[in-house]
Structure 1
């Protein structure tokens, strides 16, 4: 079984209380920590990687991001999926080539552009279809749906977009920041794996609870990197005492 097939299999036949939990490494050291803890796969967060490089979210550009993903993928023996934002304006052929060259087995592709503007859903579905066609099964494509971030938050619109993206060949959909009480509706309306975001700092549902609400897999965005920075601040505050 290839690495991408191994990664794809992790999404299948999961029990409701056992979603796939994918920690988000921001550098090679954090990736090794997560892999050594026994997680079967990892998913990089663009915001966490950007922060580790000294940039704001969305300001790294393609070259820096792919170089960071390559360092992370080389550091571990488990599959790594990469958040590549909206694809950086790359043609599908180049995007797929660069992801595979970096050692990634999958990617997040969001349906909003810099500035927080939702893309036309049909045009984005066409782009996803081209990416999936070029990848020919070599990448697990997670289509991020941004209606709860940059749209009106209407669950029906999220389902409409998600349906288009899965029809285009996306392996999973990710309605980021969907309210937990909306997840059952999304689960009922969406075919295939559903990615939910676990928020670490607001007392939101645990990954297990998100699984019971309908999530197939759970990611954390930059939450773990921000937790690590907060812990480092506490350590630093005591250095002079």
Structure 2
């Protein structure tokens, strides 16, 4: 199925990847017709009162991945830095998920790791799971360390040489920077959705995947507070998905999920 997922990363028609934080949100997004569904490590961590990218969320992320394997579309899972330093442990974890893709970032605790360390993780994952789509996240702009296009491309190319199927560069980049990266990196480039560019504009810049990241989870929190404040202040209750529909979404794949 990883091949099927990879084929969704098309030039001129980027994959828009919504990121879910639980079973109901993932099923709802798949039912809305998205070609694939990802997960957000922040959303999963926040559910358990943990910090994003904490290695303590490795098991919650794995459990969610197992419950999403029966979705009628490819699934990609955000595994932070792989939740381990040793390449073999990262490969073992990735193999245990049973999904179509993983996103692995090259920073730990807010700092970039050496290029060779992350490249070794990617190589180990690809050796163990050749069909898994590995999206190598380059965190130069995200953590504000070596935040130049040159450094970003250098890291990205090393990860591609190690076997990465795609490269993800989160952070606020301008159009010229995005174009430089997509022109230099020989695999699909992924950026975050933002208010700076439409999907069509990103397509023209050479982007092949646009991830929502934690945006949907954060927007859901904003909307929940907005509704609660409105009720408190005298507004009527707004329309919402029915109780029964949420029950159905949350349990649709329960008989077949691990």
TM-score (structure 1 length as normaliser): 0.89
* Cα distance in 1, alignment partners of residues 2 and 68 from structure 2: 16
8 Å Cα contact 2:88/2:121 also seen in 1:
no
2:91 touches 2:124 (CA, 8 Å); kept in 1? Answer: no
Q: Alignment partner for residue 61 of structure 1, among 48, 54, 57?
A: 57
Contact 1:128–1:168, Cα closer than 8 Å, also in 2: yes
Indicate conservation of the 8 Å contact 2:81/2:104, yes or no.
Answer: yes
Question: Where does residue 73 of structure 1 map in the other structure?
Answer: 69
**Which deviates the most, 189-198 or 178-187?**
178-187
Q: Which one of 5, 8, 20 corresponds to residue 7 of structure 1? A: 5
1:135 match: 129
Of stretches 101-110 and 141-150 in structure 1, the one that deviates more from structure 2 is 101-110
Alignment of 1:92-131 (within 5 A): 92-114=87-109, 116-131=110-125
Query: Which blocks of at least 5 consecutive residues in structure 1 are unaligned?
Result: none
Counterpart CA distance in 1 for 2:68 and 2:227 is 25
> Secondary structure of the equivalent of 2:231?
coil
Answering whether residue 217 of structure 2 is matched by residue 219 of structure 1, we say no
Deviation at 1:5, TM superposition (A): 1.9
For the aligned residue pairs, the C-alpha RMSD in angstroms reads: 1.7
Q: Shift of residue 90 of structure 1?
A: 6.0
Q: How far did residue 149 of structure 1 move? A: 1.9
Map of 1:37 onto structure 2: 32
Give the equivalent residue in structure 1 for 2:226.
Answer: 234
Describe the SS at the equivalent of 1:148. Answer: helix
Q: How far apart, in 1, do the equivalents of 2:181 and 2:11 lie?
A: 17
User: Does the CA contact (< 8 Å) of 2:153 and 2:181 recur in 1?
Assistant: yes
Q: Quote the Cα distance in structure 1 between the aligned partners of 2:17 and 2:51.
A: 23
Q: SS of the residue aligned with 1:109?
A: strand
1:144 to 137, 144, 150: 137
Instruction: Report how many aligned residue pairs link the two structures.
Output: 230
CA shift at 1:68, angstroms?
A: 2.3
Structure with max Cα Rg: 2
Indicate yes or no: 2:157 matched with 1:163: yes
In structure 1, the partner of 2:166 is 172
Gaps of 5+ in 2: 235-258
* Greater Cα shift, 99-108 or 189-198: 99-108
Off by >4 Å, runs of 4+ in structure 1: 90-94
Distance change >3 Å, CA 28–CA 127, structure 1 → 2: same
CA deviation vs aligned residue, 1:86-124 (integer Å, no higher than 9, x gap):
01116444444443433321101111112x111111222
Q: d(CA) in 1 for partners of 2:205 and 2:149?
A: 15
Q: Which residue of 1 aligns with 2:242?
A: none
1:147-192 deviation per Cα after TM superposition (whole angstroms, max 9, x unaligned): 1122131100000000000011000001111503210000111101
Contact 1:180 1:210 in 2 (8 A): no
2:44 and 2:57 mapped to 1: Cα distance?
11
